[in-house]
Structure 1
């Protein structure tokens, strides 16, 4: 089996998450020359090009989101995770692609639509605490966990990033964070760690987290032949959650063994090496007059 054929299979497995659901298609090659919210030379452009680590990091981020009671109620009561997990994941993936690779005008417009939709999302947690999706505290947590998940997945399974590089990646999300209203989102590893310490007393175990993990294991995200790999990537996502939080949530036995970590790392490194021509990272590079292989050298 050739290197390229393995890449093609991995792309089939999770690269489809880079493809937007119906109605959200976008030509990232246009308008020619318009920069993104994040520079093409950024660490973020490297991180977000990898479909394997994006899937793992995205699932890890949702685990951390669901650990916070108000975010959990907002996500579970007002989204389609339970009824159409694949479309929900693809919508989230499309938003991430637009935020990092889209032209600034289109990215700002997309974020504006999300903020307006969130304006209608409110309710009460099971214990009666009121929440609103545009509450800055909740926005900060969602932005922080997403950044942590994507950065940590890339560093853990693709190539190790120094604390300085990881802090730079956190900082590169500032423009998008401001547009979303997450004005207190962490801009460095130290700020993320401080936020996690402050948030931990309010995090809690929930059956919804276990329900989410079961959905991620069994939803038709990957072709049937690759469902065992899909389940392995979900275990990798659990492995990314900080150990003390895994214990708090009761998921500390659901991570990876040693050989499984190596298997995920092998897939992630292959996924990092060959460009997917139709995907936003390549198209955005072309928009800026860069070579299609710019991010893959």
Structure 2
């Protein structure tokens, strides 16, 4: 039983960071730097990103972001997500945790690295109104869609699976706006209401699109190539992410809430159990947070 638990822990670590047993080399470097960074212990960002709710949020935001055909084209044509999905996941987690826990220099460097990669991501797509459009991954419209759907998904998942947020949801949106600015988002929204209003405006505009690319991507997100140890739990978490979506977006994605015949399955309670198991395996505080606390202690910040 102990060996099975250790195998489960190592598979979780490998899935999220690309390594198991020891943190990837970028994590200890979060202890370096000469300032507190953009976010501190007790902040809304630390509360949300330190919660297990981020796992459901991550699934949910992938589904939401895929609804924009420009954002989907960039991933579909350039990211190699099918060939190396865990590598892409580890890269995304690295950026999120560096901006969350790193020094100002580390956060800016990580964001600059992503923007540099984005310069080469370009092409064309057909929007939901039938218009053919060109795109480049650093286009303001696409950057904004990615940022806004991220904030909305992480708040939605945290409301279901997380605890209180210091200062409330608006504090999280306001604080995480710094990440949007680092990525080139101009005047990111500062309240939860603004985030939800912007997403609804996109839906009403007709730009979002359901097509074969979306269906193929959703199918991949539903059944990624995970270790057999993680697949049962992932199915539960995917079902919870689907249940957390508004009905109109579920319909566009071609998804339905989990059922056995006419009987709905309790995806949310089951996901709470699955997340508790992940929490038990990974521990109360992750290595990124611990590295950040080490830097803050060195700088004399109260811990």
Give the TM-score, by structure 2 length: 0.82
Which residue does the alignment assign to 2:98?
98
Q: How many residues align?
A: 286
Q: 2:17 aligns with which of 16, 19, 23?
A: 19
Q: 1:140 Cα shift?
A: 0.8
**TM superposition shift of 1:240:** 2.5
**Displacement of 1:26 after TM fit?**
3.3
The alpha-carbon distance between structure 1 residues 160 and 34, as it changes in their structure 2 partners (threshold 3 A), is closer
Structure 1 pair 159–16 and aligned structure 2 pair: CA distance change class (3 A): farther
Higher deviation after alignment, 223-232 or 94-103: 223-232
RMSD over aligned Cα atoms: 3.1
- Paired residue for 1:259, among 240, 259, 266? 266
Quick check: which has more Rg, 1 or 2?
Answer: 2
In structure 2, what is the equivalent of residue 109 of structure 1?
109
In structure 2, distance between residues paired with 1:17 and 1:95: 16
Alignment of 1:25-44 (within 5 A): 25-31=26-32, 34-44=35-45
Q: Could you list the runs of 5+ residues in structure 1 that have no partner in the other structure?
A: none
1:281 deviates by 1.6
Seen in structure 2, the aligned counterparts of structure 1 residues 232 and 110 have a Cα distance that, compared at 3 Å, is same
More displaced, 39-48 or 254-263?
254-263
- Say whether the 8 Å CA contact 2:259–2:265 is kept in structure 1: no
Does 1:129 pair with 2:133?
yes
| Structure 2 gaps, min length 5 | none
180, 194, 198: which one aligns with 1:195:
198
Contact 1:67–1:206 (Cα < 8 Å) also in 2:
no
Q: 1:130, CA displacement in angstroms?
A: 0.8
Determine if contact 1:14/1:55 at 8 Å carries over to the other structure. Answer: no
TM-score, normalised to structure 1, is: 0.83
Pair 65,195 (structure 1): closer, same or farther in 2 beyond 3 Å: same
TM-superposition CA deviations, 1:44-75 (whole Å, max 9, x none): 1122123x422211121111111011111112
